């Protein structure tokens, strides 16, 4: 497999350019229709102060008063929990192209590094909990791990705190909902052309056209190509298109059909390895960061260059393909009651061969005795590979509105949901016929021997060459060539889930100053998993492991309103994370066991598993100031999982784990003056793994038990302090300047130690925490509106060219963020 040509796949990129040219052609044709079709009047539906219009959401504003889901039965000022909405204007002003880039504007969210062997993609941690599988698109669960784009996104809604009652399984720390661009009654045609350093090139287009009072169409498109500033060799290419059509544009009945397609092709980053391991950490050192400037155990001075990339251009790749087809029916009964039904079929695929710089053998710092192969300064090019497919068919019906009962007002939403999701995943091998693992020196000890350096399975930490002529051999000692291929489907692990759920939400207005928000949800969740079969035993039938769980979750909040524009609240909410809830689409702490040999109290493993349950408490206040133009929020919160899955004595699964996080959150968004926009906040999080389970050390068939190294430690991927502030100011009606500041406290990836037994006594030594240092990052932007139709925008992200790490993996490596990135955008509008 030769992946050295950066322009491979030109045919597909030609298709993407063709798709964008079609978007442009439609844009040129539609103005003629626009000249003859009068714009229909905007139609809005009001629900307990929540106004949902059929125009673009919050265009030009940093202030958002509501979220898109009818399950939130009150405006944000009366919603008793922390909800942050990233509007389209913030996404535009910060030049964000992906979900991860947009989320950097919200404090309290950390992006986790890709897990080896698991699908690479967005891995946001919200209030300390992995929310990779708690992402929704237009209120419906988004299937499959992926790196999400924002070219077809109107706004991003971040809900913090236990949230299973709204979306179903998972969401222990919160959830994300992406709101798509859909047809509206307002004509719109925009395009952006972006260029920047590191060969950054991006083109987007968005055209919304009502054809008449009944039919409206919209199409968004994107083409993107870039390297990464400050990093060698890495590049990203992708394209996407999102057409939609709406019948019944002005209501009261409508049917919207939409489609979303995204393809990406990239050379993924492998990050920088941590310096020490628990086995070779010098005395007195308890924390390790990514290797920078240091002296190896063998005495060599090392300075790791900023651009150091340990992957291989001829071997590494990552390709994804995402398709979503959605049909939404809506009807307004005219008496304050509405019904909405959403059906979606989604399918995504991902394949990668990805180098992970592995330090777990001590190659980076070195080990004793320090021979030529163990004196340090080397990096083993460990391979992680995966091919996965995920698909889902989901249907959701929402009945919502307002009713009065005896003088008490109810703003309610009742929901029924049915879904079926499937996934299969395998790996890449050097010979699909027999499943031979790709030869990278894993069978050689020490791994970075002279022979493995000659085969480029290892490289130096300070002078890696991504263009090394690596060749795939049949084994570490063979000279026979073997191409890298996708493993046979018989070896894939197959997972499937089905869900039937019902939920009810109600905001009860007793008086103008006292409201009660309640919600409850029931899920019947069924899941099965079947491990792959070795290619050497093709006649062996598949074995399936499965279980069913009944999940009950709720939320309750009491809201007092000193004034119509302020609120004080106290609330509690819960989440439920059943075994197998990630559907093999992420790193799962409560996975479904695939063997009945592991038992607990004599039960089969699947029967012994339980649902992890998390509860959140929150006390807060909200205020809309300056005639409703500025929103301020403050909250104190606590989230606790009391039965987290852990490993007990003799490696058995037990549900005794306890995790607790508490903190304070402040937020602000909106306009201080008509010329001055602000968006951001501050989050303090004090987290602790109260009980991480038991680690078993076995010597001479005797087991010794001691608490896990995780007990008493902070949550991984959870900084104590995080702060964001973004602001724009109109110096003149045409000229705007702005910028942003981000502070992220130190983040821990994982923990380890060494355990030895001497004369029957267990000794724990060399505790080591893997972490990345705190950092400040500053951005700047300016724009000038040349005319009503033409504007220029300049963004400089990471203005000071700070070298920092934004993702900490459990072991092995941390991800180094991009350097200074300067972008110039030409914005066109019809």
| Structural domain boundaries in the chain | 10-433+484-829
Average pLDDT score, the chain: 90
User: Which own/partner contact pairs does 358-362 have at CB distance under 8 Å and 24+ positions apart?
Assistant: 358/273, 358/382, 358/812, 359/273, 359/274, 359/275, 359/276, 359/277, 359/291, 359/811, 359/812, 359/813, 360/277, 360/811, 360/812, 361/277, 361/446, 361/447, 361/448, 362/277, 362/279, 362/280
Share of the chain above pLDDT 70, in %: 90
List of residues 6+ apart from 424 with CB closer than 8 A: 388, 389, 489, 492, 493, 494, 495
- Element housing 401 (H / E): strand 378-405
Q: Are 569 and 558 in contact (CB under 8 A)?
A: yes
DSSP 312: -
DSSP character at residue 41: P
**Whose CA is closest to 683, among 663, 703, 706?**
663
How many C-beta neighbours within 10 Å does residue 550 have?
A: 11
Rounded Cα–Cα distance for residues 777 and 742 (Å): 5
Give the model confidence (pLDDT) of 20-54 as tens digits.
Answer: 444 343 333 333 333 333 333 333 334 444 434 44
pLDDT at 35: 34
- Express each pLDDT in 75-88 by its tens digit: 999 999 999 999 99
Spatial contact of 160 and 108, defined as CB atoms under 8 Å apart: yes
The length of the chain in residues reads 830
Residue 490 is given by DSSP the state G
Look-up: residue for tokens 């009962």? Answer: 405
Confidence of residue 59 (pLDDT cuts 50, 70, 90): low
Per-residue b or e along 607-630, where b marks 16 or more CB atoms closer than 10 Å to that residue's CB: ebbbbbbbbbbbebebbbeeeebb
Residue 3 has pLDDT above 50, yes or no: no
CA distance 798 to 778: 5
Q: What CA dihedral angle connects 505, 509, 512 and 514, to 10 degrees?
A: -80
Torsion from C-alpha of 88, 92, 93, 95, nearest 10 degrees: 140
pLDDT band at 652 (very low <50, low <70, confident <90, very high): confident
Tell me the per-residue pLDDT of 589-623, one tens digit each, with 9 for 90 and over: 888 876 544 444 444 567 788 999 999 999 999 99
Residue corresponding to tokens 């990630």: 582
- The mean pLDDT value for 819-824 works out to 98
pLDDT tens per residue, range 749-779? 999 999 999 999 999 999 999 999 999 999 9
Tokens of 136: 């929704």
Residue partners of 482: CB distance under 8 A and separation at least 6: 430, 431, 436, 439, 472, 473, 474
300 DSSP assignment: -
HEC string for 605-656: HHHHCCCEEEEEEEEEEEEEECCCCEEEEEEEEEEEEEEEEEECHHHCEEEE
Looking up tokens 């045609």 gives 189
- Give CA separation, 242 vs 258, 289, 689, in Å: 7, 42, 43
Query: What are the pLDDT digits (tens) for 426-482?
Result: 999 998 888 899 999 999 999 999 999 999 999 999 999 999 999 999 999 999 999
Q: Please enumerate in sequence order all residues whose Cβ is within 8 A of that of 807, keeping only pairs 6 or more positions apart, or say none.
A: 110, 111, 112, 113, 271, 772, 814, 815
- SS3 state of residue 99: helix
Strands 514-530 and 813-816: unpaired
- pTM for this predicted structure: 0.91
| Secondary structure of residue 135 in the 3-state scheme | strand
CB neighbour list of residue 445: distance below 8 Å, 6 or more residues apart:
none
- pLDDT tens-digit profile of 313-340? 999 999 999 999 999 999 999 889 999 9
Q: Distance from CA of residue 181 to its chain's centroid? A: 20
Cβ–Cβ under 8 Å, residues 103 and 148: no
DSSP symbols for 422-456: EEEEE-EESBTTTTBPP-SSTTSSSTT-HHHHHTT
Distance, CA of 469 to CA of 536 (rounded, Å): 32
CA angle 104, 67, 738 (to 5 degrees): 40
Task: Centre a 10 Å sphere on the Cβ of residue 122 and count the other Cβ atoms it contains.
Answer: 20
Gap between the Cα atoms of 68 and 57, Å rounded: 9
Domain 10-433+484-829: what homologous superfamily?
Answer: TonB-dependent receptor, beta-barrel domain (2.40.170.20)
Distances (CA, A) of 165 to 71, 159, 275, 573, 691: 10, 12, 43, 8, 26
Asked if residue 815 has pLDDT above 60, the reply is: yes
3-state secondary structure of 28: helix
Query: If DSSP codes are grouped into helix, strand and coil, which group holds residue 667?
Result: strand
Residue 740: band (very low, low, confident or very high) from pLDDT cuts 50, 70, 90: very high
Give the DSSP H/E element, type plus range, for residue 681.
Answer: strand 676-691
- pLDDT of 112: 86
% of the chain at pLDDT higher than 90: 79
Q: What is the mean pLDDT of residues 569-590?
A: 88
CA atoms within 13 A on the CB side of 679: 27
**pLDDT at residue 17, rounded to an integer:** 42
Cis peptide, bond prior to residue 369, ω within 30 of zero = yes
| pLDDT given for residue 20 in this prediction | 40
Alpha carbon distances (Å) from 707 to 154, 198, 713, 752, 756: 47, 48, 12, 12, 14
Q: What is the C-alpha to C-alpha distance for residues 124 and 428, in angstroms, rounded to an integer?
A: 27
CB 722 within 8 A of CB 747: no
Integer Rg of the chain from CA: 27
Does the pLDDT at position 400 exceed 50? Answer: yes
pLDDT in the model for residue 369: 87
What is the rounded CA–CA span in Å between residue 191 and residue 222? 10
Residue of 175, 176, 173 whose CA lies nearest to 639: 173
107-155, pLDDT tens digit by residue?
Answer: 999 998 766 556 678 889 999 998 888 999 999 999 888 899 999 999 9
Task: Please check the confidence at residue 11 and state whether its pLDDT lies above 70.
Answer: no
Give 73's strand partners: none
- List pLDDT tens digits, range 224-262: 999 999 999 999 999 999 999 999 998 899 999 999 999
Distance from first CA to last CA of the chain, Å, rounded?
A: 46
Cis omega (within 30 of 0) on the bond before 35? no
SS (H, E, C) 709-770: CCCCCCCCCCCCEEEEEEEEEECCCCEEEEEEEEEECCEEEEEEEEEEEECCEEEEEEEEEE
Question: Is the pLDDT assigned to residue 418 strictly greater than 70?
Answer: yes
What pairs with residue 609 in β-bridges? none
| pLDDT at residue 364 tops 80 | yes
Q: What is the pLDDT of residues 491-542, one digit of tens each?
A: 999 999 999 999 999 999 999 999 999 999 999 999 999 988 888 776 678 8
Q: Are 160 and 617 in contact (CB under 8 A)?
A: no
Q: Which helix (H) or strand (E) holds 101?
A: helix 99-103
- pLDDT of 116 reads 57
Residue 472 has which token pair?
Answer: 């795939």
């Amino acid at each position: 497999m030769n992946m050295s040509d950066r322009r491979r796949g030109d045919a597909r990129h030609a298709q993407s350019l063709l798709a964008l040219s079609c978007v442009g052609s439609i844009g040129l044709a539609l103005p003629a229709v626009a000249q003859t079709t009068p714009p229909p009047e905007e139609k809005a539906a009001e629900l307990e102060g929540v106004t949902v219009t059929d125009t673009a959401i919050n265009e030009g504003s940093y202030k958002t008063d509501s979220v898109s889901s009818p399950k939130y039965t009150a405006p944000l000022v009366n919603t008793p929990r922390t909800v942050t909405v990233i509007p389209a204007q913030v996404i535009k002003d910060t030049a964000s192209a992906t979900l991860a880039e947009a989320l950097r504007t919200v404090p309290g969210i950390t992006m986790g590094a890709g897990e080896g062997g698991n699908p690479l993609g967005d891995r946001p941690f919200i209030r300390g909990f992995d929310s990779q599988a708690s992402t929704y698109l237009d209120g419906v669960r988004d299937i499959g791990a992926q790196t999400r784009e924002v070219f077809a996104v109107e706004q991003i809604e971040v809900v913090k705190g236990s949230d299973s009652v709204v979306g179903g399984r998972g969401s222990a720390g919160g959830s994300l909902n992406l709101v798509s661009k859909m047809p509206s009654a307002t004509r719109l045609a925009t395009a952006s052309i972006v260029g920047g350093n590191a060969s950054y090139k991006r083109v987007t287009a968005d055209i919304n056209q009502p054809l008449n009072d009944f039919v409206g169409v919209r199409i968004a498109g994107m083409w993107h190509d870039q390297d990464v500033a400050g990093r060698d060799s890495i590049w990203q290419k992708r394209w996407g298109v999102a057409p939609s059509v709406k019948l019944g544009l002005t209501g009261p009945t409508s049917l919207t059909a939409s489609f979303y397609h995204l393809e990406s092709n990239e050379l993924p980053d492998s990050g920088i390895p941590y310096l020490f391991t628990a086995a070779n950490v010098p005395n007195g050192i308890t924390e390790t960061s990514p290797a920078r400037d240091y002296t190896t155990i063998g005495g060599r001075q090392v300075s790791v260059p900023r651009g150091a990339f340990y992957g291989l251009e001829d071997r590494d790749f990552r390709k994804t393909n995402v398709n979503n087809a959605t049909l939404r029916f809506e009807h307004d009964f005219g008496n304050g009651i509405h019904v909405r039904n959403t059906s979606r079929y989604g399918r995504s695929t991902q394949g990668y061969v990805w180098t992970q710089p592995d330090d777990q053998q001590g190659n980076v710092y070195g080990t004793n005795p320090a021979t030529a192969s163990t004196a340090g300064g080397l990096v083993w090019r460990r391979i992680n590979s995966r091919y996965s497919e995920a698909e889902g068919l989901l249907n959701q019906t929402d009945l919502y509105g307002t009713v009065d009962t005896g003088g008490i007002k109810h703003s309610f939403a009742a929901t029924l949901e049915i879904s079926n999701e499937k996934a299969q995943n395998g790996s890449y091998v050097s010979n699909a016929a027999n499943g031979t693992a790709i030869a990278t020196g894993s069978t050689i000890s020490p791994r970075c021997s002279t022979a493995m350096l000659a085969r480029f399975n290892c490289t130096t930490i300070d002078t890696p060459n991504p263009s090394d002529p690596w060749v795939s051999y049949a084994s570490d000692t063979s000279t026979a060539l073997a191409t890298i291929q996708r493993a046979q489907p018989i070896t894939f692990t197959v997972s499937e889930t089905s869900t039937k759920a019902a939920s009810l939400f109600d905001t009860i207005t007793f008086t103008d100053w006292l409201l009660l928000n309640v919600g409850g949800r029931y899920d019947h969740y069924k899941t099965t998993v079947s491990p792959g079969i070795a290619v050497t035993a093709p006649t062996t039938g598949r074995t399936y492991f499965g279980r069913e769980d009944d999940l009950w979750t709720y939320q309750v909040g009491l809201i007092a309103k000193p004034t119509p524009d302020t609120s004080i609240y106290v609330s509690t909410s819960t989440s439920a994370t059943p075994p197998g809830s990630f559907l093999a689409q992420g790193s799962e702490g409560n996975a479904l066991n695939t063997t009945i040999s592991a038992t607990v109290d004599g039960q089969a493993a699947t029967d012994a598993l339980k649902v992890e349950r998390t509860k959140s408490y929150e006390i807060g206040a909200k205020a809309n100031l300056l005639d409703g133009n500025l929103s301020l929020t403050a909250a104190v919160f606590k989230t606790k999982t009391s039965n987290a899955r852990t490993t007990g004595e003799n490696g058995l699964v037990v549900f005794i784990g306890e995790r607790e996080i508490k903190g304070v959150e402040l937020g602000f968004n909106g306009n201080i003056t008509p010329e001055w926009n602000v968006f951001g906040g501050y989050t303090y999080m004090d987290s602790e793994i109260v009980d991480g389970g038991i680690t078993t050390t076995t010597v001479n068939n005797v087991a010794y038990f001691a608490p896990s190294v995780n007990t008493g430690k902070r949550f991984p991927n959870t900084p104590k302090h995080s702060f964001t502030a973004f602001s724009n100011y109109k110096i003149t009606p045409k000229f705007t300047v702005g910028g942003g500041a981000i502070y992220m406290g130190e983040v821990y990836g994982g923990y380890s130690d060494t355990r030895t037994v001497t004369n029957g006594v267990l000794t724990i030594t060399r505790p080591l925490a893997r972490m990345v240092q705190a950092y400040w990052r500053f951005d700047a932007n300016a724009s000038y509106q040349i005319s009503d139709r033409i504007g220029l925008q300049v963004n400089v992200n990471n203005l000071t060219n700070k070298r920092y790490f934004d993702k900490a993996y459990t072991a092995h490596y941390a991800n180094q963020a991009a350097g200074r990135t300067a972008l110039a955008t030409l914005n066109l509008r019809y």
